[in-house]
Every structure is written in C-alpha cells, then in structure tokens.
C-alpha cells in the first residue's frame, strides 16, 4: 500500500515513526524525514523549514510548486495522510480532493481551531474524509462527525519511570528553540542560576540541531549549566523545571516533573494574542486540564512578571503533591496513545 504523506514538522515525523511501527507492507511517498526507511521523500523536512514571515513570503511561490508536485504524486497513492502544518496541508487537501474525489484523505494532528480560527473546521470536514484528533475535547468542534479521538502520541513516546527520590537538586531550564525566546529568557535564567548557587545542578536544555557556534551566540552564560540535548532525559533528572514551550509543558506533566511556564513575547504579539484572539492560557497542559475539569496544573509567568524573584518563588513554593495529583488527572483524561489507532486507520482496520 502506498501512502502519500505530508509531514513537515520534526514533531510530526516523530509521531509518524511511532505509527509506522504498527503497520505492515506500506510505502511512503511525499514529504517526510529522510531517516524514515519506509520510503524516499519527494522533499525532506529540512527543505520545508521557514524562519519568520519574510522567509515565508520569499518561498511562497516555491510552496505552491511543491503542492502541485504532491497532487501529481498522489496519483500513485492508495491513501493520503496529512499531519499538522495546516497552513500548507489545508490548501493541499483542497487540491487533492478536487483531483482525486474518491481517495481517502486522513488528517492526523488537527490544527488548534479551539485556540483560533475555528472556521477551519468547515474546510477540514469538506476536504478530508477522516479526522484524527489527539485531544479529547477538540472532537466537539467538528459537527459532521468526521473527527474521532485516537489518543495522544506522547503517551506512546514517553516511556519513562521517574523516581522522585533520585532527582533532588537538579533544575531544568528550557528557554525554547527560537532565537527571540532564548535571548529574552537566558539572561534571567542565568541570574537565577547564580542566585541559587552551587546547591543545585542546573540543566540547560538545547535542541540537538544547534551547533557550538549557535549555542555560543544565543545562550549567554551557557558554560555555567550542564547542557542536555534530550528533553525527556533532562526532565526525568529534574526536581523542577522552567519551561518556555507550550508543548513541553505536556511532556513534563506526563513525566511527572513539576514546573512553571515562563514566557516573554513581543508586546504586539502578546496584545494580539490576549486582547484580539482572547487567548487566556499558554501551556498545553493547562489548556487540556481546563477543558477536562476547569482546573489548572501549573502557574504561567508571563511578560513583566518574569523576574528572578518571581521564578525563585515558583521553585520554592510549588506544591508538588498537588502537582502530582493534577498530572495524574491529565494523564487519565488523555487515556492512551494514538499510534496503534492511527495505524489501524491506515491499514483499513476498525478503530
């Protein structure tokens, strides 16, 4: 069976690799990580990366060309699997459905319409046949009944048993992966690390793709931390974490590491997000738990509130017992992983 795949993001490809483990006799064509042995990609995901609006505009015509190539390639496919990246995949779904009305189009890792632009649900149900959600509550946003909850991929990918008695003294600092995030947070993290002194083991989590030159340029004072490239291993070793990314909050929750989300956005972006789009929460773990039972898992320290003194209070005053209770509620709500169920859909088995 040939499956046309459009998986542009590194995270999507991690999820795709888990799905493939539960399939047999499939061949992938399209856009995906070249390390995946089940096919040779038309384009590797490294070619699809863009940095900011200017870069996106410059490559716009090229993206249209890639989409047309994907439509042509789909003639060889038995099924079509689109993953995340709605800016590219939703227009692609429209083109594919027009060219091949009888081919099943599956969308896995649905766009966050519950956060913004809910009208995308109409297009998704119009141009896709099967919608596979990874958050239980997002299914309610699709009235035609094409969406189903298949589980969350992180429950497949995080196979870690954290021992609370062995993590005392380590704190994970996670300033994100974007230049703007890192340069805003690192001076504060460095000052906090110095204030905590040598009684703690400071772990700085840096993306594995960053080379030494980039690290030296972006991470002020990085030599005063232990550098760890694997997020899950860093969180497993830590008694507490300061996390920039919304998705990493869910990883920390599932691993069982107490944390606070720390984020400083551009003032205009913060204004648009909070005042115009009505965003009230940043951390994915909080968003999920609020939808489940109207409670929250962690504090969110944002903008001017991101100070050394405030972060120190977070570390000292976070109630780990309450955190562990809420983290279990979150994990129980998500219930199970998604990879096996997605594989069953691809292999024409009932879910």
Q: What is the pLDDT of residues 281-338, one digit of tens each?
A: 888 999 999 999 999 999 999 999 999 999 999 999 999 999 999 999 999 999 999 9
Query: pTM for the whole thing?
Result: 0.89
pLDDT computed for residue 50 by the predictor: 66
From 106-120, 154-168, 305-319, 324-338, the region with the lowest mean pLDDT: 154-168
Task: Enumerate domains of the chain plus CATH numbers.
Answer: 2-152+336-346 (3.40.50.2000), 164-334 (3.40.50.2000)
Q: What is the pLDDT of residues 23-81, one digit of tens each?
A: 999 999 999 999 999 999 998 887 777 655 666 677 788 889 999 999 999 999 999 99
pLDDT computed for residue 277 by the predictor: 65
pLDDT computed for residue 250 by the predictor: 94
Task: Tell me how far apart the alpha carbons of residues 335 and 269 are, in angstroms, rounded to a whole number.
Answer: 34
Q: Average of pLDDT values for 173-200?
A: 93
pLDDT computed for residue 44 by the predictor: 84
pLDDT computed for residue 293 by the predictor: 95
pLDDT surpassing 80 at residue 278: no
Whole-number mean pLDDT of the chain? 92
pLDDT class of 126 with cuts at 50, 70, 90: very high
pLDDT computed for residue 230 by the predictor: 93
Q: What is the pLDDT of residues 245-274, one digit of tens each?
A: 778 999 999 999 999 999 998 888 777 777
pLDDT computed for residue 280 by the predictor: 78
Q: Average of pLDDT values for 98-124?
A: 94
What share of the chain in percent tops pLDDT 70?
A: 96
pLDDT computed for residue 294 by the predictor: 94
Q: What is the pLDDT of residues 220-252, one digit of tens each?
A: 999 999 999 999 999 999 999 999 977 899 999
């Amino acid at each position: 069976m040939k499956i046309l795949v459009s998986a542009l993001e590194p995270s999507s490809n991690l999820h795709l690799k888990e799905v493939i483990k539960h399939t047999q006799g499939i061949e992938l064509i399209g856009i995906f990580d070249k390390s995946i042995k089940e096919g040779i990609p038309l384009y590797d995901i490294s070619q699809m990366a863009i940095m900011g609006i200017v870069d996106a505009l410059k490559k716009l015509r090229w993206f249209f060309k890639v989409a047309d190539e994907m439509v042509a390639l789909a003639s060889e496919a038995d099924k079509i699997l689109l993953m995340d990246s709605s800016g590219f995949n939703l227009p692609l779904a429209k083109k594919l459905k027009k060219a091949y009305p009888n081919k099943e189009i599956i969308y896995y890792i649905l766009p966050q319409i519950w956060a913004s632009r809910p009208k995308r649900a109409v297009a998704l149900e119009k141009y896709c046949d099967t919608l596979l959600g990874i958050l239980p509550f997002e299914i309610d946003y699709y009235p035609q009944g094409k969406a189903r909850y298949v589980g969350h991929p992180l429950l497949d990918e995080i196979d870690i048993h954290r021992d609370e008695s062995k993590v005392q003294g380590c704190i994970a600092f996670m300033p994100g992966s974007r230049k703007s995030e890192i340069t805003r947070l690192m001076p504060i993290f460095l000052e906090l690390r110095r204030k905590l002194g040598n009684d703690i083991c400071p772990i700085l989590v840096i993306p594995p793709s960053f080379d030494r030159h980039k690290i030296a340029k972006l991470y002020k004072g990085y030599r005063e931390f232990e550098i760890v490239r694997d997020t899950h291993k860093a969180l497993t070793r830590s008694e507490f974490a300061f996390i920039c990314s919304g998705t990493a909050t869910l990883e920390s929750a599932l691993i069982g590491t107490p944390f606070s989300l720390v984020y400083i956005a551009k003032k205009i972006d913060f204004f648009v997000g909070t005042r115009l789009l009505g965003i009230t929460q940043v951390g994915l773990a909080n968003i999920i738990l609020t939808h489940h039972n109207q409670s929250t898992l962690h504090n969110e320290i944002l903008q001017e509130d991101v100070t050394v003194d405030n972060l120190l209070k977070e570390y000292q005053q976070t109630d780990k017992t309450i955190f562990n209770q809420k983290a279990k509620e979150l994990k129980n709500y998500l219930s199970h992983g998604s990879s096996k169920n997605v594989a069953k859909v691809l292999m024409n088995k009932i879910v």
